Structure 1
């Protein structure tokens, strides 16, 4: 296993743990069953979470339409995993 900050595991459980930690760092009291906005997330907090996701997982890992359309913590993690898989997929 490489100890390279640019290489982060993108399994759903790992990403979900990251989303929980990131939301908690942003001052939200969340668990895996929480909804980002019902837990107090605002549009400013959303922008901060998107920026952190892109810094950690790469560009477009959490597009705004994904976060605003599916704002459950599990859904956010699934979106990041799905978007990372699309980026990592070989181009035809």
Structure 2
């Protein structure tokens, strides 16, 4: 699988998780905090990322430094120790 396809899978997964958390996220350009993310939802997102992608997949400092969905996906992609989940079309 290409790195671009994997990045897109991570972005799609992130958008879905953010929506489950009640955030108004629809694209990879959306910002986690601008969409309604709080420190509590950040902790939940970090926890889910670690469950799916492995320990330290999304360090808190990275989420707070660059919080667009695309940037967060890049952090996860760089740090993941497990393959990206397969998402349906």
Is the TM value for this pair above 0.5? yes
Structure 1 residue aligned with 2:54: 58
Give TM-score, length-normalised by structure 2: 0.82
Unaligned runs of 5+ in 1: 1-9
Q: Deviations over 1:26-83 (max 9, x none)?
A: 0001121110000000000000000000000000000001100010000000000011
Q: Which has the larger radius of gyration?
A: 1
- Aligned partner (choices 50, 60, 73) of residue 77 of structure 1: 73
Give how far 1:11 is off. Answer: 1.2
1:11 paired with 2:11, answer: no
- Per the normalisation by structure 1, the TM-score is 0.79
- Superposed counterparts of 1:5-44, under 5 Å: 11-30=6-25, 31-44=27-40
* Paired residues, number: 77
Root mean square deviation, CA, Å? 1.4
Counterpart Cα distance in 2 of 1:81 and 1:32:
14
